[in-house]
Amino acid sequence: MNLLIELLAFAVAIGVLVVVHEYGHYSVARLCGVQVLRFSIGFGKPLVQWVSQKTGTEWTIAALPLGGYVKMLDERETGGAPIPPEALPHAFNRQSVWRRFAIVAAGPIANFLLAIVLFALVFATGVTEPAAVVATPAPNTPAALAGFDGGETVVAVRTETAGESERVRSWSDLRWKLLGAAFDHKRVVLSAKDAHGISDFQLDLRGITEKDVDDDFMSRLGFEPGGGKLTVAGVQPDSAAQKAGLAVGDRLRAINGVPTDNATAFIAYVKSHAGVPVTLQVERGGPAAGKLEDVRIVPQSQRDEATGQQIGRIGAELATQVPSIDVRYGPVESLQLGARRTWDLAVYSVRMFGRMIVGEASLKNLSGPVTIADYAGKSARLGPSAFLSFLALVSISLGVLNLLPIPVLDGGHLLYYLVEAVTGKVVSDRWQLVFQRAGLACIVALSAIALFNDLARLIHF
């Protein structure tokens, strides 16, 4: 059943993104008076095709659905057959350089516009997200050095030099604002409230490098969602947790007197205390619900396969229930936020790709169709908002990828047109052929790496 959901979600995602991208090319080509011969979804043998009586365009759905194309009237692609004189003004190659530029750029732009609309729909319809409550930070992290103790709710953020604060609505909102400040190497001031009122916390992000900006970005800063309940969801046989008497449903309130409401911080503390007794403050579940007890437990020492070091484990499965908030915006604000989120993700994608080129980021960040299908299925099972957000993210990635100055991609053609606009001369067919072969080699290499990463994630090697 899960495989069927993944395949259906993947088909819908790819179908929507390809149609939008190619319709961008098609619509601007029509506006420029260019004759479109074929609009194809997929490659290979046509499964379904029909011809529009109004435009003469052949619409096709082909057997291999991983992509699509728009074929326009072009003197260079007729195989030597002459084009009737009355049709020449409608040929792509007869258009001005800026019209050709607009037609080619319209595909990626359509992907960005789709992302803006999808994000706006998510913001307007509302989404349930973790509240911006900070868990107790690990020692010596930027959050700890800023003065956070845990339990504070961040309500606003501003740069140190700017007086205007931006409201923080949720944990996701906080992450994006800190991500932008980290990219700009700024110091920010976070306004957070607790039982004593609202206080300001200065957070220095100037030392954060682009190498540090990844999926663990917030954890590196010492920020984890807090204010929730950390409970025992399972106990392994013959484990330290079982020997200490921990049971499913027990709530973990503190470890060695340090309040804990986040699984990540709790696990990190346990790992650093291999073989060292620790005392847990536990609120009992089950028949003894509400009763507080101190439980002494000795984390078992085990070798970490990733680092080779000895770490502590107690053999308990944990579940965190953090406070959530329903976030909903008005139509205008939703569009503004959708545009901003699209811009932020596009810039982040470009920077990440640049880091991979210079070796500052791993090529393992590249993903192929298998990973996309997996995340498509997962997001579809989470609900419409998650799936729309995933679709917007992939649409941005497709737009950025197509704008890269690689021949055979839209960005490569745009580069040709810029050279033509500056020099007044068309890039020769000979050089275009050379660049096209080089670009094709790049695409094949990138596709091979992405497929290898997919297989590595699938079979864990």
Domain boundaries, the chain: 2-114+404-459, 142-221, 229-323
Query: What local confidence, expressed as pLDDT, does residue 34 receive?
Result: 93
pTM of the model: 0.75
351-401 per-position pLDDT tens digit:
777 777 776 666 666 676 667 777 677 777 777 888 888 899 889 988 998
Domains 142-221 and 229-323 fall in the same CATH topology: yes
Q: Does the annotation count 164 as an active-site position?
A: no
| Measured distance CA(292)–CA(244) in Å, rounded | 15
CATH class of 142-221: mainly beta
Given 6, 22, 152, 224, the catalytic residue: 22
Statement: 229-323 belongs to CATH 2.30.42.10 = yes
Query: What local confidence, expressed as pLDDT, does residue 259 receive?
Result: 83
14-55 per-position pLDDT tens digit:
888 989 999 999 999 999 999 999 999 988 888 898 998 888
> What residue ranges of the chain have pLDDT lower than 50?
none
Query: What local confidence, expressed as pLDDT, does residue 170 receive?
Result: 87
